[in-house]
Homo-oligomer: A and B are copies of this chain.
């Protein structure tokens, strides 16, 4: 039963099974919600969405599954500073959609942006290579977030 690092091929059935995980109703439900919701959902958000159709899937399973998924690199666990973790699919059914985030520190609005992504990604690639070598790190991921005030919030009091 090979666990651990199982970067694999296609979509989830195979990936899951290939890594020794069992494919259960709850796990599929969660993945489905993540795939179609296209947002930044908290564990509880997901629970709310899964519950109507699968009332027997508990919050604990949501947390556990999210953990497995982010361990497999299928899901990113994000922190926007609002006290709860948020999750998004690493890549949709039809390929990646790499983006970074713009976060309003006042109302917590989050914008996905892809502008400048190419330049950023290129620089990141080089940086990762350089840092990896210099500090002997095997870099697998990065986070770039800009914080500030959205239009609505900067025109407040």
Residues of A near any B CB (own CB < 8 A): 77, 79, 81, 102, 104-105, 111, 113, 115-116, 119-120, 123, 126-128, 130-132, 134-151, 154
Q: How far is the CA of A104 from the CA of B127 in the complex (A)?
A: 16
Chain B residues in 8 Å Cβ range of A131: 102, 113, 115-116, 146
**Interface secondary structure of A, over-half rule:** mixed
| A116 touches which of B115, B127, B146 (Cβ 8 Å) | B127
How many of these chains are in the complex? Answer: 2
Chain B residues in 8 Å Cβ range of A105: 140-141
The answer to whether B148 touches A141, judged by C-beta atoms less than 8 angstroms apart, is: yes
Chain B residues in 8 Å Cβ range of A147: 139-143
Q: How far is the CA of A123 from the CA of B124 in the complex (A)?
A: 11
Q: What are 11 A-to-B residue pairs whose CB atoms are below 8 Å?
A: A105-B141, A113-B135, A116-B130, A119-B127, A128-B146, A140-B147, A140-B148, A142-B145, A143-B143, A143-B145, A144-B144
The answer to whether A150 touches B136, judged by C-beta atoms less than 8 angstroms apart, is: yes
Q: How far is the CA of A137 from the CA of B138 in the complex (A)?
A: 34
Chain B residues in 8 Å Cβ range of A150: 135-137
* The 8 nearest A-B residue pairs measured at CB: A136-B151, A139-B148, A141-B147, A138-B149, A138-B154, A116-B127, A143-B145, A140-B148
Q: Which residue of B lies closest to A117 (CB)?
A: B127
The answer to whether B119 touches A123, judged by C-beta atoms less than 8 angstroms apart, is: yes
Q: How far is the CA of A10 from the CA of B105 in the complex (A)?
A: 25
